[in-house]
Amino acid sequence: MGKKSRRNRVKKVKEFKTEVERETEINQIKMKLMSLGFPTEMEEMLTLFEHLEMYQKTGESWSGKIPFPGFQRECFVTLTNRKHNTNSVCLKYRKDI
C-alpha cells in the first residue's frame, strides 16, 4: 500500500465565471441588501457597493468584513470568481458595534 503517484495525474482546467454570471449574482445580492432596509447613502454601504462593482467588472475575488455601526451588524463578504463557488454576503449580529 504505497502512496499514489501524482506524476500521472491530469490537472483540470479551472473554470471562471463570465461577466454575465457575475452581474446576475451581484444584482441579486444588491436587491436582497436593499430589501432589508439599510440606507444606501451610508459610507459602509457605499464601500460594499464599490467592492461589488469592482468584482463585477474585473472578476477579481475579494473577501473581508465591513462593520455597520448603529445597526449592530457586521457584513462578511466573500466574492469568488470560481464557477462552482457562490458569492456570499452575511450580516451577523454584534452587540459591541
Q: Identify whether 31 is part of a domain.
A: yes
Three-state secondary structure call for residue 91: strand
pLDDT for residue 49:
95
Return the amino acid letter for 22. R
Q: Identify whether 61 is part of a domain.
A: yes
Residues with Cβ within 8 Å of 83's Cβ and at least 6 positions away in sequence, in order, are: 15, 16, 17, 21
Q: Identify whether 14 is part of a domain.
A: no
Q: Identify whether 53 is part of a domain.
A: yes
Helix axes 43-58, 19-35, angle to 10 degrees: 160
Q: Identify whether 29 is part of a domain.
A: yes
Q: Identify whether 88 is part of a domain.
A: yes
Q: Identify whether 38 is part of a domain.
A: yes
In angstroms, rounded to a whole number, what is the distance separating the alpha carbons of residues 75 and 96? 14
Count of C-beta atoms within a 10 Å radius of residue 87: 20
Whole domain around residue 74: which residue ranges?
19-93
Q: Are 76 and 65 in contact (CB under 8 A)?
A: yes
What's the structural domain count of the chain?
1
Q: Print pLDDT tens along the chain (97 aa).
A: 677 777 888 888 889 999 999 999 999 999 999 999 888 899 999 999 999 999 999 999 999 999 999 899 999 999 999 999 999 999 999 999 8
Q: Identify whether 1 is part of a domain.
A: no
pTM: 0.84
